[in-house]
Structure 1
Amino acid sequence: MATPQHYIWAAGHFLLLTASLRYIVAWITFKSASALWYKASFTGALISYAIVCQKSLGTPQPNLAFVRRALVDENIQYFLLAFFWFTSKPITITLLPYMIFSLFHALTFTRTTIMSRYLPGPPATAGGPPQPHPLAKKLQAWVKANYDTAMRVVAYTELLILVRVVIGAVTFQNSLLAPLIFAHFLRQRYFQSAFTREAVADTTKRIDALVRKPGNPPMLLTVWDKSQMLVQRWAGVALTPNAAPAGAAPAGARR
């Protein structure tokens, strides 16, 4: 049975999904959208991730061991990043990863909690488990079939966010702190997510192929090689990864 905390967790995801869709649709159609929608989106993220973090880590402890455990927890990282975006000037693309996570969580909550209560399935066979409604089965199949693709989209989107905040820092569209914070976050994702490693490897391979095309200035290749070397040195020390999935449902809420 779902707990009040589970409903609050789900409400955060629905708020994030609804508000971010409103903000992004306005941005795509070149209409003005109040920054309140942007703030509401990350408010939803903070609500949901706060519950997940509390469930996974327990009550905060004033000791170094707890801090270390928290800093390598994926949910804490997304929570802290959401807080940073919440307090920063709106950057539309930063909503996309959170939207994708929330879409899958909202669909799962709808299937396991709402549908199971208001849309019961066919009668169970003698001695067999209860059967879900056919619509719930289709929803579950869609989530399973599209989850990996969605996580790849998140990984590539996070690389685009890094490019966006670096350009924004150079052109004074966002703070100089944004690329530093997000680069550290992305470094953590590289060690914790196979999807991020795949996206980084694929992107690096594509850029490398373009840079090494015959006829390109030798200086371009030199700059590219040195840039790779610097990035590898900076990101070479891995922190201990945490196996908990980012944005996962709070303990006791999974089905």
Structure 2
Amino acid sequence: MPAAQSTLSDRLQALVKGPQFVWWLGHVTMLTCTALYLPYWLTFNYAAGAHWYTRALLGALVSYTVVVYKSFPNIQFTAEFAQALFSEENVQYLLMAIFWWRSTPMLAPLIPYAIFAFFNSLNYTRTNILPAFFPAPPAGTTDATFNQVSAISRKIQVWTEKNHAAAMALVAYVEVVGVMGSLILGAITFQSSFLSPIVFANFLRFRYFFSLHTRAAFALIRARLDNLIVPQGGNPKVPPMVAQAYIAARGAITRFGMAAVQQPGADANARQ
């Protein structure tokens, strides 16, 4: 925690010199530009708001580039390094951000990044920015303002810890249903590339093995569809051909998801 004896200028200089500050700026940019893109999306004026879409993803690119660089500072041209690199979830989200940046603007792909950005920027504000402006007073003294800020900081910490798991579950559900659904609809209506669902399907395949929340989202969706289309004894309202097509599609998706991906021993839940 910054010392109260140091000047505000010194504390701010120390704050902005670190790569984490650039990481935080990227998250703030992502949040701000997503919020500015939302009105264009709500009014179906996608082209006019495309610049906010690309700027939002540029913010995500900045944040994830910082994290990946810190995680892999020494590049090695080996198979083991490549496997470790592409198994890292921050690398996967960085690559997807590059893909979305060059794709047709849509709101759904921005939502997971915006949720990550909200939690990460909030935590950084709590742990770095607030202490820079309101440092701890000297030992043996009290400061009413510092006490108030500390109370706010504790509330932020409690709230983020309480809601983090639910937010990550929401991200997984948005990715499986919202993003993939938007991509399939866009491809069918010729509003987006046919390549997009294929690329994102491969991303989801990795997320399935690396994220408990993604596996839970798939399990929930499958249970609901099974209950709707092929409940025990069959659903008389669903034509047999539709049920058979669903079962075939479900099997194909399962085989695709299980192919060429090795499940890690532990799940990494936190996004950077």
Asked if residue 199 in structure 1 is aligned to residue 214 in structure 2, the reply is no
After TM superposition, give the deviation of residue 240 of structure 1 in Å: 4.6
When the two structures are superposed, what TM-score results if normalisation uses the length of structure 2?
A: 0.83
Indicate the larger mover: 237-246 or 50-59: 237-246
Mapping 1:1-255, distance limit 5 Å: 2=15, 3-28=17-42, 33-120=48-135, 133-159=150-176, 160-212=178-230, 213-237=235-259, 238-241=261-264, 244-245=268-269, 247-248=271-272
Give, in whole Å, the separation in 2 of the partners of 1:136 and 1:203.
37
Deviations 1:137-196 (A, max 9, x none): 111111011111111110111012111111211211111110010000011111011111
How far 1:123 moved relative to its partner? 7.3
Structure 2: gaps spanning 5 or more residues: 1-13
Note if contact 2:211-2:269 (Cα within 8 Å) is conserved in structure 1: no
SS of alignment partner, residue 42 of structure 1: helix
Cα 1:138/1:121, change in 2 over 3 Å: farther
Query: C-alpha distance in 2, partners of 1:20/1:209?
Result: 36
The higher relative CO (CA closer than 8 Å, separation ≥ 6) is in 1
The secondary structure found in structure 2 opposite 1:77 is helix
How far apart in 1 are the matches of 2:154 and 2:39?
30
Aligned length: 245
What is the Cα deviation at residue 63 of structure 1?
A: 2.5
Instruction: Give 2:33's aligned amino acid.
Output: A
Deviation at 1:109? Answer: 0.7
What SS does the aligned partner of 2:193 have? coil
* CA distance in 2: counterparts of 1:9 and 1:169, whole angstroms: 33
Task: Compute the RMSD of aligned alpha carbons.
Answer: 2.2
Q: What is the TM-score when the length of structure 1 is the normalising length?
A: 0.88
Q: What CA distance in whole angstroms lies between the structure 2 residues aligned with 1:26 and 1:170? A: 22
Distance 1:89 1:31, change over 3 A: closer
Conserved? CA contact 2:186–2:192, under 8 Å: yes
Write the letter of the residue equivalent to 2:52.
W
Q: Match of 2:34, as an amino acid?
A: S
Give distance in 2, aligned partners of 1:198 and 1:243. Answer: 13
Write out per-residue CA displacement over residues 26-45 of structure 1, whole angstroms, 9 at most, x where no aligned residue: 32255664311111111011
C-alpha distance 125-74 of structure 1, shift in aligned 2 (>3 A) = farther
Unaligned runs of 5+ in 1: 249-255
User: Post-superposition shift, 1:246?
Assistant: 5.4
Partner AA of 1:48 in structure 2: S
Report the Cα distance in structure 1 between the residues aligned to 2:90 and 2:42, rounded to whole angstroms: 29
Report sequence identity in percent. Answer: 37
Shift, 1:91, TM fit: 1.2
**Larger C-alpha radius of gyration, 1 or 2?**
2
- Conserved 8 A contact 2:40-2:49: no
Q: Which residue type is aligned with residue 148 of structure 1?
A: A
Amino acid in structure 2 at the alignment position of 1:223? A
- CA drift at 1:115: 1.0
Matched to 2:253, the amino acid is: V
Superposed displacement of residue 247, structure 1: 3.5
Q: Which moved more, 1:1-10 or 1:135-144?
A: 1-10
